[in-house]
Every structure is written in structure tokens, then in C-alpha cells.
Amino acid sequence: MSGSRKLNILGIESSCDETSVAILSDDEVKVNLISSQHFHKNYGGVVPELSSRAHLQIVKPLVDSALQSVNININDIDLIAATSGPGLIGALLVGLTFAKGLSFSLNKPLVAVNHIEGHIFSGFLMDTKPEFPMIVLVVSGGHTLLLLVESFTKIFLLGTTVDDAAGEAFDKVSKLLGFGYPGGPQIELSALKGDEHSIKFPIADLKDEYNFSFSGLKTAVLRFVQKNYSDKNIPENDLNNISASFQKSLVDALIQKVSLAISNHKVKSISLVGGVAANKKLRNEINNLADQFNISCIIPSLSYCGDNAAMIALRGFQLYQSGVRDNLCVKPYPAIHENHFLRIGQD
């Protein structure tokens, strides 16, 4: 990298149902715009084709607004970072292709960013930075990952879910309780009014030390509802108790494994990231756990928990600094693949 001038990084995120554009000056966020596709609510989940079309409509205006809000010209952008996967392939194509077009026409470097890596390092968007080595819990709609992170390039997967992701469990239980999509925020709201000790839902007891399983919990909620409410009419008070008890079991399951990971590894910090990191009970319990172990705890602010381009730009900047450059042949990919995920495996 030349001289001490800070780089203007343009980040573009379009992996699912949020189009987001951010501009960073090195690692400092100047603007982070997020346009959420709320219309998916009507369908009970994300409709991939509609998602792609909505990204296509909004990505250019969003880039224009981001540039305008920080009062810089597109030619002042030094680096373009865009999510290349994992995610919905059509949605990814929109953001990545747009980024390629900008990179080509402006003759500026392009870095393709793994969405999960974006989440993993999103704690570094905060004023107080996490310290290595750290345990990172990624909890989103598509992923539940427990990681030991030793540096920006050394990331070890300790455990993952063997079935549903944590956010997926929130969404599925929300649907069966009649709350709709996305489920997390609505279950959380309902849980606030309920008694979390009223129903004992199970926590999966897996042989693998650090793996998670949430489909049994979801089925237990389903069975409870089928058994007790044959007319599908659940009184509000009961709904609140079910939400609170489900949320407690899910959070307890996460905390058990995180606690074990901290006990078994000498770490300086814990970071909770991803869409489900918006959950207040989970945030509180992770904070308490960090206090117990006397390590620091970094949880991004709400706008950096869900999908956002600031984390993509930041990860793009880190990769760029370690020499990564992508060309116009870089392709989007729908699922985590060894060759894509955590692609720099060494310092």
C-alpha cells in the first residue's frame, strides 16, 4: 500500500434480502445504507427471484446515495469489495456483477468477500476492537458457527449446526406460532411478556463437543402446540410463554457450547455476530459469560448484526491489505465451499 493516505472503500452486499452499500475510509465507516426487502413477509420467507429483481432496482441508486451522503465522487473510490457468497445465487450475481462493472470502468481493484467472513470480523467495526485469539459465534438465518479466530487470516471452525441454523429455528417457530417472517424479532418481543420457565423444551445433547442441533427443539415446540391447542387458537399469554421458553432453550444451547469453547481455549475475547446477535437475551448472556471468564466481549451494534455492506467493505480492506485482488472472472457461489471460505489459511 502506498503512502499514508487513507483508502476509500466501497462495499456492496446483496446475498439475501438486504441490499446494502457502505463507504469506509480505511476501517472507519463513513456511511452504511441498508435497504431491506420487507415484501418477502407476504410469502413467509425469501423468494429468490423477487430478491434478485429488487437488488437490481436498488443497487445503483443506493451507491449514488452513499457517495452523495459522504460528498465524494465515484472516481474517489480506491477499492471495491462485494459479497461473492454464500447466499442466493441470483441475488449475489446482481451485487457482484455491479461491482465488477465499476471495477472495470473505473480501473479500480476488486475484492470478492465471503459473507460469513464479513460477519466474523464485524466486531472490528466497533470502537473497541476484539482481541486475538478470540471465540466468535456466528448466528444468522443460514449459519451457526463456533470459531476460534487467531488472526485476520487464521480461522478455525470448532463447531456448526447439524441441522437448522439458529435464525432458521427462530423463523420456523415464529411461522408455526403464526407470527410470520422474519421470526427472531417477533419471538423476542413476545418472549419479553412471557415466563421462560413455564415450559421445559429440550436442548440437544450431541456427542460432538461443539456442534449444535435445533431441529429437535423446533419439533418439540410443534408437538407442544399440536397437543395443547387442537383448534390452532393459542391464547396470547400462552404464545408469550412458548416464545420465552423456546428462546431460553435456544440461547442456553448456544451458551453451553460457547462456554465450553472459552474453557478449552486461551482466548482474550468473545465476539457475537450475525442477525441473531440482535437478540437481547443472547447479548446479555454472552456478556455475562465474558464477565465470568474475565475476557472482553464485542457485539456489533444492531446495524452491523444483520446483513450490511460495512462488514463486507471492512473484510475487503483487510484482504486487500494482505495482497488479495480479484479479477472479472470471480464467480458467485451459493454455499460455503472449502476453497471459498476463509481462503487465506495462513499468516
Binding site for ligand KG4 (CB under 6 A): 16, 140-142, 167, 170-171, 182-185, 188, 274-276, 278-279, 306-307
Angle, helices 215-228 vs 236-264, to 10°: value is 160
Binding site partner of 117, from Zn ion, ligand KG4, none, Cβ cut-off 5-8 A by kind: none
- What is the closest distance, in whole angstroms, from the C-beta atom of residue 115 to Zn ion in the complex? 6
Partner from Zn ion, ligand KG4, none binding residue 167, C-beta < 5-8 Å depending on class: ligand KG4
Residue with Cβ nearer ligand KG4 (151 or 219): 219
With CB atoms as reference, the residue minimizing the distance to Zn ion is 140
Residue closer to Zn ion by CB (options 164, 307) is 307
To the nearest whole angstrom, how small is the minimum distance from the Cβ of residue 89 to ligand KG4? Answer: 15
The least CB distance from residue 308 to ligand KG4, in Å, is: 8
Q: Least CB distance from residue 202 to ligand KG4, whole Å?
A: 19
- CA dihedral 216→217→222→227, nearest 10 degrees, is 90
| Cβ distance to ligand KG4 smaller for residue 188 or 326 | 188
Helix or strand run (H / E) with residue 132: none
User: Phi, psi at residue 310, to the nearest 5°?
Assistant: -60, -45
* Residue placing its CB nearer to ligand KG4 in the complex, 103 or 144: 144
Closer Cβ to Zn ion, 88 or 220, answer by number: 88
Rounded-to-integer distance, Cα 282 and Cα 262, Å: 16
Q: Helical H runs in the chain?
A: 48-69, 89-106, 115-120, 166-177, 183-192, 215-228, 236-264, 280-293, 302-305, 309-321
Choosing among ligand KG4, Zn ion, none, which partner's interface includes residue 111 (Cβ < 5 to 8 Å by kind)? none
State how far the Cα of 22 lies from the Cα of 62, in Å rounded to an integer: 9
What does the binding site for Zn ion look like in residue numbers (CB under 5 A)?
Answer: 140, 307
Please, what is the minimum distance in Å from the beta carbon of residue 188 to ligand KG4? 4
DSSP string, 287-342: HHHHHHHT-EEE---HHHHSS-HHHHHHHHHHHHHTT--B-TT----SS--TTTTT
Q: Residue 293 Cβ, how far from ligand KG4 at the closest point, in Å?
A: 24
Question: 272 near 282, Cβ under 8 Å?
Answer: yes
